[in-house]
Structure formats: C-alpha cells, structure tokens
Amino acid sequence: MLFIPEGDPLPLKIESYDRTETAYFASGCFWGTEYHLQQIPGVLSTSVGYTGGTVKNPDYKEVCTGRTGHAEAVKVVFDPSKVTYRTIAKMYFETHDPTQVDRQGPDIGTQYRSEIFYMNKNQRKVAEELVGILESKGLDVATGITPASEFYEAENYHQDYYKHNGSTPYCHIYTRRFF
C-alpha cells in the first residue's frame, strides 16, 4: 500500500525511458570522472567501479595493488534522445589528461589509466574519431579503446563521492579540447 502524507499531491507524471544506453569510461580516480559526467543533462545515472581486469568481484584494496588488471571506471546510463554518446565522450576527454600513461595527477598505477570501454560499434567509432581529432591537434593520446567487459560496482563509500563530501575534483579539471 502506498502511503502519501496529507497535503502531498500525487505525481502528475512518472517519467519512463523507452531507451537508454550505457557507456564506460576510465580516466584516473573515478570520483572526478563521475562528478563531471553527472553534470551532463541527459545522464540518468552513474556508478563507479572496476572493469578491464581478470579477477572476479575485486575490491578497492585488490585493485589498488595493480595486480587485478582493472581500471577505476564510471558506468554512465544516459538517454540518447537527450544527449549523445559523442557529447559524453567529449566531456570525458576534456576532464582528464588523455596523454598520461597509467596515471592522472598524483594517482599512479594501471588502475588509473585512460581507457574507453565501448559497448557497440558506434561507441568505438566515436571514440576513435575523437582520439583522431585530438591527435590532429598534436596530442599524443594514450587512451585505450577496448570492448567493454564485466563491470564490478565499487564499495558504497566511493559512490557519488563529491556529492556526499561537498567538494569538487582535485585532479579532474575541465580543459576545452574540442572547438
């Protein structure tokens, strides 16, 4: 039974989404990446976790050893009628340094690599096109473009980190790269 406190109107419309898409991005510490991708209108949800490795159900301590092969990554669920994968991928490239190998700022290790884990041919094509644009501007892009694999959600204290802690990313600063 649904309890509605007196005076609270029933919602006039419950939103439903006919179609969503999912994307996975790794670019250093997942907190900053999640923060920036959450700001994009049309992004419905995000979660941080681990992907691209060989160990099933890794935890943060295991991933930090660098021996699981996982990257800290962000799962993005979005409404393609409101935002394109290209727009999200551009923000991804503009909120980290895609030229750094296995690091972002003070975070060093393979778990902090720059990598796009694509879900379909279109995502792969868009990622490759954006890398091409950046390389044509003289950047030596280190971002890997890899088929998506199993994604393991990180511990709860990592989810929505900046929302819960009231601050902003320290190593994911917006830098316009596409004009």
Would you name the residues annotated as active-site residues? 29
Reading the block at residue 81, the tokens are 């009628």
C-beta neighbour count of 65 within 10 angstroms? 12
Residue 31 three-state SS: helix
Nearest CA to 26 among 128, 96, 105, 131? 96
Burial class of 37 by CB neighbour count within 10 A (0 to 12, 13 to 18, 19+) = buried
Helices (H), 3-120: 30-38, 60-64, 85-94
Burial 149-178 (b: 16+ CB within 10 A, else e): eebbebeeebbbbbeeeeeebebbeeeeee
